[in-house]
């Protein structure tokens, strides 16, 4: 393959001379640069189209959730970490204590200061 290419280049050099060979090389370089830029533009366009379709899909899903929520259907929403902690504390604190009375749940300030209830995870202790 390399030998064939070398023979073609030598024959072209002898036919056209050094000045024309430089023009051909420059033209080939410009052509390759243009092809590369067009290829890159095509790839970017395809990626943009894919992102646009994904965005439209997520928008439709969001609109459907809003419509179902406004229509009265119950939509499960993720709970925040604070709400999960509150639910866990209420669950543990609402169980009757040894004296048979319920304790008030601690405030968020107490929890942040480290003054929360101590919960024994061992059952039957």
The domain limits of the chain are: 1-77, 81-112
Q: Are 16 and 27 in contact (CB under 8 A)?
A: no
Which residue did the predictor score with more confidence, 15 or 1?
15
Helix extents (H) in the chain = 2-70, 81-93, 108-112
> Nearest CA to 13 among 1, 28, 27, 23?
23
What is the DSSP-derived secondary structure letter of residue 37?
H
Q: What mean pLDDT is reported for the chain?
A: 80
Q: Are 102 and 78 in contact (CB under 8 A)?
A: no
Which residue did the predictor score with more confidence, 103 or 22?
22
Q: Are 75 and 68 in contact (CB under 8 A)?
A: yes
Q: Structure tokens of 52? A: 């646009």
Residue 104 pLDDT > 90, yes or no? no
> Nearest CA to 38 among 30, 27, 28?
30
The structure's pTM equals 0.41
Residue 13 has what pLDDT? 87
């Amino acid at each position: 393959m390399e030998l064939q290419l070398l023979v073609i280049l030598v024959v072209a050099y002898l036919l056209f001379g050094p000045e024309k060979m430089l023009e051909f090389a420059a033209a080939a370089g410009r052509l390759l640069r243009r092809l590369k830029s067009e290829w890159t533009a095509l790839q970017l366009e395809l990626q943009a189209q894919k992102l646009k379709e994904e965005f439209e899909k997520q928008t439709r899903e969001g609109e459907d959730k809003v419509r179902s929520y406004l229509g009265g259907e119950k939509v499960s929403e993720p709970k925040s970490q604070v709400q999960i902690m509150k639910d866990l504390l209420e669950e543990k604190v609402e169980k009757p204590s040894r004296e048979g009375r319920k304790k008030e749940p601690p405030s968020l300030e107490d929890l942040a200061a480290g003054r929360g209830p101590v919960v024994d995870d061992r059952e039957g202790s």
